Amino acid sequence: MDSTKLLPPVKEALEQFPQVFHDEIAYAGPLGAAWAPGRVNLIGEHTDYNGGFVLPLAVDRVSAFAGRTRQDQTVRLWSTHFKEYAQFSLAGLPETFEEQRADLPGWARYVLGVAAELVRVDVVLKGFDAVVSGDVPLGGGMSSSAALEIASAEAYALFSDHAFSIGEKDATLTPIETAGLCQRAEQIASGVMCGILDQAASCLGQPRKAVLLDCRSLDYRYLPFEDSNVSVVVIDTSVRRELASSAYNERRQQCEEATRRLRDLILRDEPENAQTRSIKELRDISPEQFDRYKNQLPALLQKRAGYVIAENERVLQVVTLLEAGRIEEAGQILWIGHAGLRDEYEVSCAELDALVDIAREVPGVLGARMMGGGFGGCTINLVRGDAVDSLRQAVEQQYPERTGRQASIDICRAAAGPGHVVMN
């Protein structure tokens, strides 16, 4: 394999492995590497755990493992980002958040959680030593944790002599099954009841494609996402957030409560309607039903439910535009989505709002919104190619003045899902 063709984090991990792990143990396999991408989400934020629709694409930023199979059940890891080791055994893996290894660094708990989920579905794993690298911004809303989890699954497959495989045809695990497994691993590792958006996007990535995912049925289809005149620009606020402390679980509980109240109200007036009896999530409530009953909800629940129901409609609007090749028009819907996240779902912050406001004043920026769980992280911007430099200059000049912080800017491309390589 020509290492010059590998993504930079993969090359970095491969190059560092012999320097980090040089204690002369007898390995049971050749040097190999596994990786998985982060993602951006065009539209459909906080809809995944409400059974709704999302429209992500995997990006050319990855988490990567490079290492060798051991002859025992030990996993030893070195993180190039955190500059620290982690070690655990594949025996006695945790099954709940409360059973997590308190002595492990946070990043390693995701790797451990994936192992626990694989063993739960009867996969036989082997230990390995590996360097862990990556260029997905941590805590930036591009799903660094999901990229790490999916890369972990790919690494376990590689270093366990392909005891299982991930793919569409004749694979032990389909991409969606792998995504669900890694979603549960994240819930174990973090205590956050996340939806499946991030893991599915990482597993399902294809170059020049966005993915429409139904988060209830888990059906998905690909949509064209390539326009030489439009760039996806991700701007990092440099504000980091912890989802567990940012009221993520609280938002989920509020949506569940709003669903229960709306279902009871609709059943009161339509007791014979079988469709009404099947209401389980906000996704099942139409905009017309919501308009009819919203004033009977507490003000807070009205805002939360109103955002989610409208956001599902926005996803479908963007799908229609992409199918018609009208990507520029999709940008207008991003502005509206950000307003909903800011005012109704209340998960934005001053820095995210500042970036969106700056982008709005730059000619050629088609749309922008905050991305991810909220309270920090990144914005996603659809920008005409000839306006990217103007946006960069505006952010570099105005963002520090408004926030006292520096922002970083990346241009992302729709990319492939997880992969691995065995070196000669």
* Residues classed as catalytic: 198
CA 256 to CA 268: how far, in whole Å? 18
Q: DSSP readout, 266-288?
A: HHHH-TT-HHHHT--SGGGS-HH
What is the number of helices (H) and of strands (E) in the chain?
12, 12
H-type helices in 21-120, by residue range? 106-120
Among residues 395, 371, 381, 398, which one has the least CA distance to residue 139? 371
Q: Which of 67, 213, 185, 187 is nearest to 126 (CA)?
A: 67
Which residues, in sequence order, are bridge partners of residue 77?
86, 130
350-360 and 388-403 helices, crossing angle to 10°: 140
How many residues can be counted in the chain? 424
| CA pair distance 110, 103, nearest whole angstrom | 13
| Integer-rounded Cα radius of gyration of the chain | 22
At which residue do the structure tokens 């799908």 appear? Answer: 319
- Segments of 71-162 assigned E as strands: 74-79, 84-89, 128-134
**Residues in Cβ contact with 81 at an 8 Å cutoff, skipping those fewer than 6 apart:** 107, 132, 133, 134, 138
Helix (H) or strand (E) holding 17: helix 8-20
Residue 394, classified by CB atoms within 10 Å of its CB into exposed (0-12), middle (13-18) or buried (19+), is: middle
Give residue for tokens 């990144």: 378
